[in-house]
Structure 1
């Protein structure tokens, strides 16, 4: 008994504290994309893109607060899957969970490929080694994950702090240099020829929003946090607020230093930082970008298998998927998740799926926002840490924003989403349809 108590104590100590969870959330959102973001968003509106970024940050926070409230009802892994299951039942929960797990595996494969590209840019001697580098990364991270959360946690937090050094340094320098660059903010709105303001704002907002995606990861690994009912909501709100401030400073600093020259470079943040502090700035950002995407892969390696394991723990996937080793790691889910990611990399077909995975995250946001209202109604006396203000207004706005973002990217995503639901529903029926038939038979026999 004492040995079991010590093991439980060790596992609890291995979990993320509030500060560790906040860093994990920041790591899940900030990838290498931020280093390329300024050029892409400047293109449509010029300096006015910074105002769209502020608006998009507010929209993201609307979604994040929905996750923050419903996370307060739970102390286990699963995120949107758990919320949907509790609010709307097994069938809806399985659909959200099954599609969510598939989406995260596609995203991890894409991030592993992104790591290889960034590694080759930094170290050109490895040109042509894209697939071996990607697969090696997935295998190493899976082995690290099997070694237990303590090992994964140390590496993830270290990578997050390392990648934040150039980002925070750039943001701090922006405060001192932005005054000299104010002329680059005029005229404020610079539309491309042949475009209208509404269309430019919409396109820029969709692109910026992708830079914020990932905040929901914290809720998926809630069971790996200490005191999750309290700490997960706080970590979600803390991490998305910090990321929003950093993004605004990076965009503002890059515009201040380069102006329209952003469009003439493939490395806008590096060039802007070099103007601020000299050649060391470009080097810091380049290394930061590589560390950034490495950290993102570490975070995915923790989250992806635990999503699958959470579905199994609720009895909706084979129980073996949730089987843990002595270190508390879901070994079967880790192996399956890593193997599928490797197959996607070898097939070469994951790129289009990765694009879909970004958009399909909205299909996790919508049921979570709806679950806010359902759980409030079903469990009015629940003692949750955080409640979204203004009643149902923000959850409904979050649903509307998600639908608009899906439509704004490509209306065909709704058709693809419907196909995904049909596949997930078919899997659910094949695995669990007989249980319902048995239950109906038992009820009929009882009534007779």
Structure 2
């Protein structure tokens, strides 16, 4: 008995503290996006993209506070899947979970592809090795994951601190250099010929949003945190606020130093830093970007399998998927997740995978925002650490803006979403439909 108790203590110790969880959240959000996407962000609107970034940060915070409130009802892994399941029942919960797991695997494949891309930019000798590099990364991280959370946790926190060094350094330099670069902010709005403002704003917002996704990761691995009901909401809000400030400073500094020149370079953040502090700047950003995307992949490798395992634990996928080894790692889920990610790497390009994974994230966000309203009605006396202010206003706004963003980016996304829902619902029916019908006949 004593040894078992010790294991519980060890498991608790292996979990993330509040500061560890906040770092995990920052790591899950700051990836390669901010290094790889400044051009796409600048292209549509010019300097005005920084205003869109501010707006997108506000939207992200609206969505994040919805997660922060509902996370307070739960102390286990699963994120949006758990929230929708409790609020709207098994069928909708399964759809959200199944599509969510699929999307996180897509996103992980996109990030592994992004890792190879950054690796080759940093070490050009590996030109043409994209696929072997990204697949090796997925395999190594899966093995690390099977070795248990403690190993993964140490690596993840180390990588986060290492990647924050150049980002914080760049942001601090921006404060000194921005006034010399103010002429680069005029004219403020620079539309591409033949585009309209609304289209440009929503396209830019979707690109920027790609830089912010990941805040929901904390709610998916809530079971790996100490006192999750209390710490997950705090860590979500803390990490998103810190990231928003850093992002605004990075984009602001890049525009101040390069202006329209952003469009003529493959490495805008590196070039801007070189203008600030000389050649060492490029090296810092390259290494920082590489560590950054490696850290992001580590975070995904912890989260993705636990998403699948959480659905299996609730009895909605075969129980074997949740099977854990002696290090409490969901081995079967790890193998399934990494095999699918590898298959995707053999087929798709980084941009396509990234684009799809962003849009499908909204299938996590929208049900979570709606779950806020439903769970308040269902459990009015629940002691939740954090409540979203202004009653239903923020969850409703978050849903409306999410739908507008999907539409503004490409109305076809709704069709893709519908196809996803049909597939998920069919799987649900095959696995659970007959059983449910049998239950009704018994009644």
Q: Same fold (TM over 0.5)?
A: yes
Matched, 1:302 2:302: yes
How far off its partner does 1:257 sit?
Answer: 1.3
Measured at CA, do residues 5 and 98 of structure 1 come closer, stay the same or move farther in structure 2, by a change above 3 Å? Answer: same
Moved more, 195-204 or 8-17: 195-204
Which digits, 9 at most, give the CA deviation of each residue in 1:70-96, with x for residues without a partner?
000000000000000000000000010
**Contact map agreement 1:75 1:227 (CA 8 A) in 2:** yes
Which digits, 9 at most, give the CA deviation of each residue in 1:242-261, with x for residues without a partner?
11000000011111112222
Matched, 1:404 2:443: no
Which digits, 9 at most, give the CA deviation of each residue in 1:140-195, with x for residues without a partner?
10110011100000001111111111000000111111122222222222233333
**Contact map agreement 1:323 1:331 (CA 8 A) in 2:** yes
Measured at CA, do residues 231 and 115 of structure 1 come closer, stay the same or move farther in structure 2, by a change above 3 Å? Answer: same
Q: Which residue of 1 aligns with 2:233?
A: 233
1:116-127 aligned within 5 A: 116-127=116-127
TM-score by length of 2: 0.97
Moved more, 309-318 or 337-346: 337-346
Moved more, 288-297 or 351-360: 351-360
Moved more, 365-374 or 425-434: 425-434
Q: Which runs of 5+ in 2 are unaligned?
A: none
How far off its partner does 1:211 sit?
Answer: 1.2
1:246-261 aligned within 5 A: 246-261=246-261
How far off its partner does 1:136 sit?
Answer: 1.1
**Contact map agreement 1:81 1:96 (CA 8 A) in 2:** yes
**Contact map agreement 1:106 1:350 (CA 8 A) in 2:** no
What is the Cα-based RMSD across aligned positions, in Å?
A: 1.4
Q: Which residue of 1 aligns with 2:38?
A: 38
Distance 1:350 1:284 in 2: 24
TM-score by length of 1: 0.96
SS of aligned partner of 2:325: coil
Distance 1:417 1:199 in 2: 21
Q: Which runs of 5+ in 1 are unaligned?
A: 444-448
**Paired positions, count:** 443
How far off its partner does 1:44 sit?
Answer: 2.1
Matched, 1:189 2:189: yes
Distance 2:274 2:354 in 1: 32
1:29-178 aligned within 5 A: 29-178=29-178
Distance 1:285 1:354 in 2: 22
Distance 2:199 2:86 in 1: 39
**Contact map agreement 1:344 1:350 (CA 8 A) in 2:** no
Distance 1:352 1:53 in 2: 22
**Contact map agreement 1:308 1:321 (CA 8 A) in 2:** yes
Q: Which residue of 2 aligns with 1:383?
A: 383
Q: Which residue of 1 aligns with 2:270?
A: 270
1:330-345 aligned within 5 A: 330-345=330-345
Distance 1:195 1:82 in 2: 41
Distance 1:348 1:56 in 2: 27
Distance 1:306 1:128 in 2: 33
Distance 1:248 1:320 in 2: 45
Distance 2:434 2:192 in 1: 58
Moved more, 95-104 or 345-354: 345-354
How far off its partner does 1:344 sit?
Answer: 1.9
Distance 1:313 1:428 in 2: 15
How far off its partner does 1:350 sit?
Answer: 8.2
Moved more, 180-189 or 132-141: 180-189
1:274-285 aligned within 5 A: 274-285=274-285
SS of aligned partner of 1:361: helix
Q: Which residue of 2 aligns with 1:440?
A: 440
Distance 2:121 2:269 in 1: 16
How far off its partner does 1:348 sit?
Answer: 4.4
**Contact map agreement 1:66 1:369 (CA 8 A) in 2:** yes
Which digits, 9 at most, give the CA deviation of each residue in 1:271-318, with x for residues without a partner?
111111110001100111111111111010000000000001000011
